[in-house]
Amino acid sequence: MPKIDDIENELELLSRSEKARLLQRIVRDLGDSFPGIESTPGVCGGEPCIVRTRIPVWILEQMRRHGVCEADILRSYPTLRAEDLATAWAFVRAHRSEIEQQIRENEEA
């Protein structure tokens, strides 16, 4: 796999229109990304978690649905930051059905 330095060197050789096409492709690829949320196979069943932690987004959303305020969530998980919760809520809005399914599956377990 090429290293970023190699890619940057190749980028210099592209025309403006080729760079624009490449940028469009990258934007499409990243359009559904949420910095601060990652899914890693083998970690928490591959469920989306807050980076630096093993806290699945569905757990945070379930707490919120049960009326736990953000301050209490942050006290419950000292490694979380307020911006982690903001990112989690945005992720939930964009992936509502996936999160609801994860909540259901974990309630049934």
pLDDT, one tens digit for every residue, the chain (109 residues): 678 888 889 999 999 999 888 887 776 666 567 889 999 999 999 999 999 999 999 999 999 999 999 999 999 999 999 999 999 999 999 899 999 999 999 999 7
- Tell me how crowded residue 40 is: count the other CB atoms within 10 A of its CB: 13
**What pTM, to 2 d.p., does this model score?**
0.71
63: helix, strand or coil = helix
User: Using CA atoms, how far apart are residues 20 and 15, in angstroms rounded to an integer?
Assistant: 9
Six token digits for residue 107: 């309630």
pLDDT at 13: 93
